Amino acid sequence: MAESVNDQESEKKKMTGDRFREGLRIFRYVLPYKWQFTLGMLSLGIGSLLFLAITLVPGEMLNVLSGESERGFSINQLFLFVVILLGVQSVLSFLRVNWFAIVSEKGMANLRSDIYEKLIGLSIPFFEQRRVGELTSRITTDVTQVQNVISITIAEFIRQIIILFGGIGIIIFTMPRLALTMLLTFPVVVVGAMFFGRFIRRLMKDRQDKLAETNVIVEETMQTIQTVKAYTNEWFELGRYTGKLNEAVGIALKAARMRGLFASFIILVMFGALFFIMWRAALMVQTGTLASGDLVNFVVLTGTIGAAIASLGSFYTEIVSAIGATERIFDILEEESEVVPESREQTQPMDLHGNIQYQDVHFSYPTRTDVEVLKGINIEIQAGSKVALVGASGSGKSTIVALLQRFYELDEGQILVDGKPIPEYPLTAFRRNIGIVPQEVLLFGGTIRENISYGKPGATDDEIVEAAKQANAWEFISAFPEGLDTIVGERGVKLSGGQRQRVAIARAILKDPAILLLDEATSSLDAESERLVQSALDRLMEGRTSIIIAHRLSTIRTVDRIYVLDQGKVVEEGTHSELSLIEDGLYNNLAKLQFEVTE
C-alpha cells in the first residue's frame, strides 16, 4: 500500500512543473543561436503589440465620423497610420519566421546528430534490450515534434499570451467598468485548462509510445521480408500493425474527446461571458456612457482575447506532447556511452602482436543473468597461430569471440592480449586491430566500392582492387558493367552468398588486422564458391592470429589447435590428429558423424 501511494505521488510530481523544467532542457540546443532566438522573440512581441494597435483603428474611425473622438485624428491620418503599422508588421513577420527557422533547423540538426552519435556509441547490451523501430522513432518522430514546437508552437503560444494580456490591459485602461466583469471569468478558464491539460498530456504521450510500436513492426517486417513471404504471413504482419495502429487511434480519439470537452468548456464559459459583457457594453452606449467607436473596439478586443484563449488550449496540448518527446530523447542522450566516435586520424595508432589468453572467464548475458554461458574458460593463443572453437550450438563459441571484441563486460576472470588486460587498451584503437568475417554477411545498401572500403575509409582505388583480387572477388566485380560502383542492394541481396563472403573478406584484408575472427564462412556455400572463399581465407589468415568458429570440421584439420566446448566449458583441446585418437571424445564423435554423413 505504501509503495502504491509513493507511486501515485511520484506520478503527480511528474505531471507538475518538474516535467516542464525537464522539457526545458531541450533549449540547450537553442543556446548556440540565442541571438536569432532573441531577435525572433523581440520581433514577435513588437508585431503582437502592433496587431493590437491595428485592432483599435476601426473604432477610432467610427468615433471620428460620429464626432465622438477625443484624440483629434483625421480619417486620412488613421489610414496612413494603419498602412505604416501593416508595413512594419509584415517586415517583422518575415524576419521572425526566418530567425525561428534558423534556430529550429540548425538546433534540431544538432540534436539529431547528438542522438545518432550517442546511439552508435552505445554498447551492444543497450541494443539487445530495445527494438530498432523504437530507436528510429526517437530520432525522427520525436525530434520532428520538438522541432515543430520550437519553430511554430512556442512563438504562437507567446504571441497569443501577449495578445491576451495586451488586450486585457487596453480594456482595463480604456474601459475599466467593463474589465472587472471580464476578469471574473479568467480563474475558471485557467483551472479548467490545467484540469484538461493534465489528461491530454498523458494521453498524447501514450499515443506517441503506441506509434513508436507501430514503427517497430514496420522496421522488423521490412528487415525480414523474405521470411514473411516465405511463410506467407503477410496477413499476420498486417494484423500486428493494424492492431497497434488501432490502439494508437483509440488513444488519439480519447485525447480528441478531451480536447473537444475543453473546447466546449471554452465556448460555454468564456464566450458566454464575453457576449454577456458585450450586452452590458451595448447598454452603456445606449445611456451615453460609452462611445459607439469604443464599443466596436471592445467587441474586436474581446473577440481577439477569446480567440487567443481558445488557441492557447491547442498550443498547450502540443507543448506538453513535445515535453513527453523530450523526455524520451533525453532518456537516450543520458545513457552512458561505450565509446566516443573517432575517425581513423583521431585515434592513436596501436599495433598488437596477437597473443591472447582467456583466464578463468565466467560470463552471463546482461539480459539473462540467471544463465551462465561461460564457466571458467581457459584458452591460450600464440601470435600468428590458427585456433578453432568447436562445439554444439549454445556451447559458448560466439560468446568467446564477442568478449574478445569487448562487446560485454566479464563476470569473472580476464582476457589478456599481448600480456595486458583488454580493458586497459583504448577501445577504438583496440577494435581497429580486430577483423571479422561472419557466417551471414550483411552488406550496406550502397556500392561494392563503399562496402570494401568500409574496412579502411578513404582507401584508394588501387588498394580496393588489390584487396578484391586477394579475396578472389575481382573477377566477378570486373564482370559487372558498373564494376566497383555496382549497387549491392539492401543488405547485399543483389549478390550471391559466395560473392557477399568475398566482399567481406576483401573488407577485412583492407583493414589489415592483427587478430582475425572467422565465423565459419563457407558452411552455406556451394562447392565452387566454397573453394574460392576458402582460398581467400587462407591468404587472409597468413601471419595473423586467427580464431575460427568451426561448424564443418573438414575446414579446420590444419589449424594449430582446436578447443572443444560443451555447455560453457573447454572439455578437450589439441590438434585434429590428437583429438581424433580419443576414442570416446566429443570431437571424435562429431568428426565421425560429419564425415559419415558427407560420405
Average pLDDT over residues 178-207: 65
Contact between 262 and 194 (Cβ < 8 Å): no
CATH number at residue 176: 1.20.1560.10
Q: Is 194 exposed, middle or buried (0-12, 13-18, 19+ CB in 10 A)?
A: exposed
- Give the model confidence (pLDDT) of 242-257 as tens digits: 887 787 777 777 777 7
Residue 7 lies in a domain: no
242 plus 366 within the same structural domain:
no
Residue 90 lies in a domain: yes
Q: Is pLDDT at 402 greater than 70 in this prediction?
A: yes
Sheet of strand 420-421, all strands in order from the earlier edge strand to the far edge: 374-381, 356-363, 412-417, 420-421
Summary mean pLDDT of the chain: 77
The Cα 13–Cα 152 span in angstroms is 28
409 plus 281 within the same structural domain:
no
For residue 400, which phi and psi values (nearest 5 degrees)? -60, -45
Residue 10 lies in a domain: no
Q: Is pLDDT at 162 greater than 50 in this prediction?
A: yes
Residue 30: C-alpha distances to residues 18, 36, 104, 105, 156 (Å): 20, 9, 8, 10, 17
Q: Is pLDDT at 194 greater than 70 in this prediction?
A: no
Q: Is pLDDT at 277 greater than 50 in this prediction?
A: yes
Structural domain of 419:
356-598
- Give the model confidence (pLDDT) of 383-393 as tens digits: 888 898 988 88
The residue whose grid cell reads 536569432 is 36
Residue 94 lies in a domain: yes
39 plus 101 within the same structural domain:
yes
Residue 115 lies in a domain: yes
- Give the model confidence (pLDDT) of 499-511 as tens digits: 888 888 888 888 8
Residue 510 lies in a domain: yes
Number of domains in the chain: 2
With CA atoms as reference, report the closest residue to 283 among 177, 370, 380, 377. 177
| pLDDT at site 362 | 92
Bridge-based pairing of strands 545-549 and 386-391 is: parallel
The Cα 151–Cα 156 span in angstroms is 9
- Comparing 165-179, 185-199, 397-411, 438-452, the range with the smallest average pLDDT is 185-199
Name the helix (H) or strand (E) containing 277. Answer: helix 272-287
The Cα 569–Cα 360 span in angstroms is 10
316 plus 446 within the same structural domain:
no
- Give the model confidence (pLDDT) of 50-77 as tens digits: 888 888 777 777 767 766 666 666 777 7
Contact between 52 and 163 (Cβ < 8 Å): yes
317 plus 453 within the same structural domain:
no
Higher pLDDT, 210 or 380: 380
Residue 375 lies in a domain: yes
